[in-house]
Chains A and B, each alone.
Chain A
């Protein structure tokens, strides 16, 4: 929409203005790494962070949420859960921002998901332009998520002593009105251009092919021997899906109190990597082996989700690669499938 300049010394004031009105979640230092957490003091925010273990998805799709509460004794009167708190996710990287766009699509397509959409409606996103790669596992440039031109309410780019703030929505504009900003000058625009053009070469391409070929590459790889190799290594621990910003599969189950009267129906994150995920009541498991489950995961990321929702299911954040105990990585898998097809002359 439009661009404003926010002096860095005004950031603290900005956050202090917002803290009484919103729950603010942002990257903070935590045990040697970074994590998205609710902040109470602007000094906690670490906007120059690398990556977080869990993506900010947890504020939109909590690890565990109450769908409704019940009381069995009076015939199961249902109490809908409380309304979502107004939240600002501050400092979201653009890979995660692309992931949120996919989640928005998934939960608003077909049957809309009231719980997700209620939280989303009450969430503002202040994203930040990444100026260098998080680490050697990031492959955002290959996935086209190195930047974003939509999906945020405000988007910050670090210009040194100030942030260029791109206003994405009216809600973002209203937010920014709570702090003094300057109009951009020719000099600051030039600086913004320089910062953006200098960042580009700092990021390597890590896929050996163009990402637009990924769906067809996977299509040709249903019977690749690689899936069995991955299955031999995979521990089925589900760390990869737990840290993924685009994984949205869930389980639904009931918990009942010791009085056997009051209880809750819960939704929790689930994983297609777990043995029971595709098992039906009679015991038949439609993805019995870890090889089939790994194949399913990568097919979802690069093909199935795209076919269902028009968004790729991988944003190149590299979290699953960092989390995997046996070094199964999307870059490694996709490049190996590409190599196999090249050797077989099937490309």
Chain B
């Protein structure tokens, strides 16, 4: 039966004849970042642009193995002809991905989800706080911000990984660190003989920076256990709930708001997210 609510029904869209049929992209190059992580550069047929926003994801499939949601790691401001994602070898699909070679093809559906509202970030100081593999989706946003550097205030990046070997995109970290208009602080949970930087979880980096809270937008992404600690640091700096943005991981099976796997209370992460402000999710018990 119908009950009236204050929520409007989901808007009608065009009949999507090929909702579940992937398009096949060709792997142009593969870079091994760490023991478990590789970055794949892909090109769609006819070099068609993916047309994504930072923060969106694609469903990546290998026929016979399955499909998995993976966030897009490249910035739309870089190359329109190709896109990148970073996959950790952790399941069936990513395990099979890691065996592929340049020239092989993988199925792509998407991009799906709501990305970062980058227009709202313009003119603000940006504080990025990725942890571990959380740098993969944030890299897309960070590179777009750096490509439009003049439109933003300070850019502070606090990045933590478990060990020096597990830091992702080391070449890019080096370039960011050399820029005068980027403040990059790195940390690792456990150092090694070669590591001379900060040792400790990501929250230890927050003590080394100060921000002007009213003009700061914070963006964080990492393993679920990290969020509550990072959030406490951000609140401690006086950053408001609406200015804290997170990208949440869920197991989207369809990507289009039907299958139910990504549901966080009444919210489908694949439709309303995976990017949320803290203000949007703080009432959702299952969010973090």
Cβ proximity bits A283-326 to B, threshold 8 Å, 1 near / 0 not: 01011000010001001100110111111100100000000000
Contact A251 B253 (CB under 8 A): yes
B1 within 8 A of A: yes
Contact B257 A80 (CB under 8 A): no
Mostly, the B contact residues are loop
Could you say which residues of chain A place their CB within 8 Å of the CB of B257? Answer: 109-111
Rounded to whole angstroms, the CA-CA distance of A112 and B12 in the bound complex is 8
Contact of A284 among B3, B4, B24, B223 (CB under 8 A): B223
Sample of 9 further A-B pairs with CB below 8 A, known A144-B1, A265-B61, A310-B2: A76-B105, A111-B19, A113-B256, A114-B17, A114-B18, A277-B260, A280-B249, A281-B91, A282-B249
Rounded to whole angstroms, the CA-CA distance of A272 and B65 in the bound complex is 23
B20 within 8 A of A: yes
Return the 10 tightest CB-CB contacts between A and B, nearest first: A249-B260, A111-B256, A109-B10, A304-B266, A144-B1, A256-B64, A67-B20, A70-B63, A110-B10, A310-B9
Contact A143 B1 (CB under 8 A): yes
Cβ proximity bits A60-83 to B, threshold 8 Å, 1 near / 0 not: 000000011010100110101000
Known: A76-B24, A250-B259, A252-B20. A117 touches B15 (CB 8 A): yes
Rounded to whole angstroms, the CA-CA distance of A212 and B11 in the bound complex is 24
Q: Find residues 119-163 in chain A having any chain B CB closer than 8 Å to their own CB.
A: 143-145
Rounded to whole angstroms, the CA-CA distance of A101 and B18 in the bound complex is 23
Contact of B260 among A248, A306, A312 (CB under 8 A): A248
Could you say which residues of chain B place their CB within 8 Å of the CB of A14? Answer: none
Contact A109 B12 (CB under 8 A): yes
Question: Could you list 20 examples of A-B contacts with CB < 8 Å?
Answer: A68-B21, A70-B63, A109-B10, A110-B13, A111-B13, A111-B256, A114-B17, A250-B253, A252-B20, A254-B61, A260-B64, A263-B63, A267-B20, A278-B286, A280-B250, A280-B251, A282-B223, A303-B266, A308-B10, A315-B1
Contact B263 A250 (CB under 8 A): no
Rounded to whole angstroms, the CA-CA distance of A292 and B265 in the bound complex is 10
Size class of the A contact interface (CB-based, 8 Å)? 35 or more
Contact B260 A272 (CB under 8 A): yes
B35 within 8 A of A: no
Please, how many residues of chain B have a CB less than 8 angstroms from a CB on the other chain?
54
Cβ proximity bits A250-279 to B, threshold 8 Å, 1 near / 0 not: 111110100010010101001010000111
Contact B24 A110 (CB under 8 A): no
B16 within 8 A of A: yes
From B24, B63, B285, name the one whose CB has the most chain A CB atoms within 10 angstroms: B63
Rounded to whole angstroms, the CA-CA distance of A193 and B134 in the bound complex is 65
Could you say which residues of chain B place their CB within 8 Å of the CB of A37? Answer: none
Rounded to whole angstroms, the CA-CA distance of A105 and B8 in the bound complex is 13
Q: Find residues 238-259 in chain B having any chain A CB closer than 8 Å to their own CB.
A: 249-251, 253-254, 256-259
